Every structure is written in structure tokens, then in C-alpha cells.
Chain A
């Protein structure tokens, strides 16, 4: 058993890198996912992960399979989509989810066109699904940098993020920080998705962000605890997914997200605030 759990990481350098990369990503993505969920923007993460595709594709077309150009491209396009849809919804009657849908679909179509215009299907597969087993030093440094930025930003703006979710009108009556906080948060979302797409690809990078976050909600009713639980679920999913991918020869990205998916289903059923806890008939009840 010990052998099964540990030896892949002791024997192979690429497994060590994959482990380090996905663990750092877990710690960084999960709290961002928690706030996305609490702001009722769970599907925004998904939309954004599609939206960064043309940016990554442009970087790929100009510079080949290089990390920095693809990352910067993804970042720029992701922010354009986020701010563009925010801008349209702010100045018209259209709600943000509608404009987000429009913008990300345009972006996704452009991205697929760009990737298929030049490049083989292997390249497309890499951009769409990434490869945590092929993380180089540059990619690891990028993921680590994004994690540090995320933690600093969350730490500094914690109060504003909580206030903005809980009572946005109150926050606007005492401070002008609400708007900038929202934009900063969108930047964090895009950053973490871009960090994730090296390892998991654009399609699945959102999985490590949302699944642990949504699963954590079945266990706690406190933001801080939710972030902790989400990180724990993400870490376990990364570890489990990598082991599964190694021993069962599965693609690593989908394996990680599958484990997170199982964690979600388990939490939804058996969590303290899950389906069984609330649906099972009980003769006993608390006195207050």
C-alpha cells in the first residue's frame, strides 16, 4: 500500500513535478472557487476557462508551445472577456450572465478557429487538455507565482470580498472599494485558470477550482472553513488523480477532476449539510 502511494513520486522526476504543480494549484484555485460559488458565479469560471482559449492559441501560433506567450495571451483575452461583459451589463439592461455567455462563446469560437487554422490535433489536445506530467521549471514557477499573488490578494482584500458578497449596498455606502475588488477578483479567476491550463488544459482547469469549492459547502457554514475544506479536497483530488493516472494509465488531468467529482458526489450525499442529512426523516429534533 505504502509502495503504491509513495513510490511513483520517489522514483520519477516528472511525477514529483506533477505533484508539486497540482498541489500548489489546488491551494491557489480552491479559495477562488469558494468565492465564485458564494457570489453565484460558479458557471462564470467555466465560461472564463473557455474564453481564454484564443489568447492561448495566439500565443501558441506566434511562439509555438511556449508557456509565457500562451499564458500572457490567455490572461489578456480572459480579462477582455470579463471586463467586456461587465461593461456591457453595467451600462445596459442586460444582466452580466447574458453578456458573459455572448462574450465567451465568441471567444471560444475564435479560439478553436485559431488552433485549427495552424497546428495539428495533437497541439489542440494539449491546449484543451494540458499535461500535468509535462510541467517544466517555467510552468512550475508560473503556478507558484500565481499562488503567491492569489494568497496575498485574498489576504489583503478579504474583508472587502466578504462585504461585497454579503451586503454590497452597505459596502458601497462606506467605501468605494467594491468595484475595484470585483475587478481584482476577476483577475484572480483568470490568473488561476491560466495557471491551471498548463497542467489541466483550458477545459478542465475550472474543475480544480469549482468542484472542491462546491463540495466544501456541504460540510461547513463559515467562509474561512470553506476555503480550508476546499483546499483539502483539491489536494486529495490532485494526489489521488495522479496516482490513478500512474497506476491505471489514465490521462492525468481528467483523472484529477474525476477524483474531485467523486469527492463532490460523496459530500453532496453524506456531508453534514448534504442530501441525506436534510432529506432523511428524523423523529428527533433539537430544542432550539
Chain B
């Protein structure tokens, strides 16, 4: 098995030809645990959608070598008013094995109950989704992710609107998945959490600002560089003429020496 799980080659992703992420190059090692950090609108969710195959690259490519992918969208993308039970939501995780019509077997059910127990939701099987708290909902979604038994896991802001105890429990699950050798990309806002729990970090501002060991990436210089970028969608933005940058992760010094970093990150 190859040691890389994902390789981005000058990847540009966006909507209607406006780039939301551009010129991303680099490698996600198999079994790595990476935090994806950046301001709102910096392209984190877009990158997740690109890896999940929901968005096609505008240019560049993603070389992927994984057996199965589990994607956990932002909670705001999920219709919590939909009249379904916890078990209905979690059993969506069988899709890759059972597809549209495959029967959910008794051993499947046993696995499902085990996953619910692992996230602390035993006894919630038939509770309706709209009766769950934000934390319970996230636990249910983690149970679904667990059920998918994927070797590449994408988590988009899993800790939004979630209390501290739930964050602690869910972090333990993420840790456990990483120990099992699964590759994990997790979009996060809490820098303290990133520093304490994620060995690798990708800092984004539409394009990669820095990518590598968390301690090397989360420096004041990088963070301030990541803050100054053009956030808004610009109808009149010119075509991007920027040459493809060198393969990331690169030594952090390269970026620091680039005095134009803020300006470059600022164009669309």
C-alpha cells in the first residue's frame, strides 16, 4: 500500500469558475491526523467537498488512494427538522456496503448499536432528530462516520455548537480512529485544540498559507498572513495568472521570506 493517501496537484476548486481554493499542492500521508484551519471563507469546507468528490476541480487534480471515504458535513447542511429517528440517520452509514436496496442484516444492526454505544447514545435509537441537542446530534453523526468504517475520514467543523464534554468524548474517538491507522482531515476553529490534539495542520487562506507540523504552522506570522486575504466573492476578479507554487508542505521559511505573501494571498 502506498504511504500517501491524498496528493493535491495544483488543485483549484470553486463555484462557477470563481476559485474558493486555488493552487493547493501537497500530500496527505496515510494515517496522518491533520487539522484544517483558516478564517471563514478561506476554502476549508470547499476543500472537504473536493476531496469527497462532491466538487470537481476547476483545474489541477487530487490523486486519491483510499479504500473508503467517510464525510461528515457541517451540521448546518443537515436538515434536523426532517422526521427521522436517530437510527435512520446513523444507518445511512451502511450505504457504501448495502447501497440502495441491500438488506440491513442482524449483524449490521449489532454493529450499529455498538457504534451508538461508543458515542454514548445507547437508548437513543428511536429518538427523533429534532429532540436531540446539538451535542447529541454530533454524537449521532460520529456514530454514522464510525459505522462507515472508512480509511479516510473528513470532518467539517464537528465541534461547532457542541459542549466541552462532548468535544472531549469526540476527540477521544478521533484519537482512536487515528491510532487505528485511519487518515483524518478535520476542519477546526479552536487553535488551542489544534495545538494540543492534531500533529499536522494545513492553514488556509484560499490557498495554503502553511502546511506541516502543527508547531511549525501555527506561528504568529503564518496566522497573521492567513488573516489578510480577500474574503468576499468578487464578480470582477481578474483571471488568476499565478504560476503553480512549489510542492507543499514546504519549509516554513520559504513563505516567510516571500514578502509578497499577503498580497498574493489577497487576489482571487
Contacts and interface: CB of A to CB of B under 8 A. Distances in A.
A159 B104 CA distance: 12
Given A160-B100, A221-B130, A173 B53 contact: yes
B52 A173 contact: yes
A242 B57 CA distance: 57
A38 B73 contact: no
B92 to A, nearest CB: 5
Nearest to B71: A173
A166 B84 contact: yes
Interface in A132-164: 156-157, 159-160, 162-163
B129 to A, nearest CB: 8
Contact of A162 (B73, B88, B96): B88
B82 A166 contact: yes
Interface in B80-102: 82-85, 88-89, 92, 95-96, 99-101
Contact of A222 (B83, B96, B148): B83
A156 B73 contact: no
Given A160-B100, A162-B84, A222-B128, A169 B89 contact: no
B73 A167 contact: yes
B237 interface: no
B192 interface: no
B69 interface: yes
Contacts of B79: 165-167
Contacts of B144: 170
A221 B83 contact: yes
Interface string A56-84: 00000000000000000000000000000
Given A167-B92, A170-B73, A223 B83 contact: yes
B128 A175 contact: no
Interface in A187-222: 217, 220-222
B101 A156 contact: yes
Nearest to B129: A166
A163 B84 CA distance: 10
Q: Chain A interface secondary structure, helix, strand, loop or mixed?
A: helix
Q: What is the interface residue range for chain A against chain B? A: 20 to 34
A166 B93 CA distance: 13
B14 to A, nearest CB: 14
A169 B83 contact: no
A217 B130 CA distance: 13
Interface in B55-80: 69, 71-73, 77-79
Contacts of A223: 82-84, 88
Contact of B73 (A165, A169, A222): A169
Contacts of A160: 100
A150 B92 CA distance: 23
Contacts of A173: 52-54, 69, 71, 73
Contacts of B189: none
B143 to A, nearest CB: 13
B95 A163 contact: yes
A231 to B, nearest CB: 16
A226 interface: yes
A174 interface: yes
Contacts of A167: 73, 77-79, 89, 92
Contacts of B99: 175
A174 B73 contact: no
> Which of the listed residues B72, B78, B82 has the most CB atoms from chain A within 10 Å of its own CB?
B82
Contacts of B95: 159, 163, 171, 174-175
Contacts of A183: none
A170 B84 contact: no
Interface string B217-229: 0000000000000
Given A170-B73, A173-B69, A165 B82 contact: yes
A156 B89 CA distance: 18
Contacts of B69: 173-174
B49 interface: yes
> Which of the listed residues A159, A171, A217, A223 has the most CB atoms from chain B within 10 Å of its own CB?
A159
7 contacts: A157-B100, A167-B89, A169-B49, A169-B71, A170-B78, A221-B130, A222-B85
Interface of A: 38, 93, 156-157, 159-160, 162-163, 165-175, 177, 217, 220-223, 226
Which 3 pairs across A and B sit closest by C-beta, in order of nearness? A173-B71, A169-B73, A173-B52
Given A169-B54, A173-B73, 8 more contacts: A93-B16, A156-B100, A166-B78, A172-B52, A174-B148, A221-B83, A223-B83, A223-B88
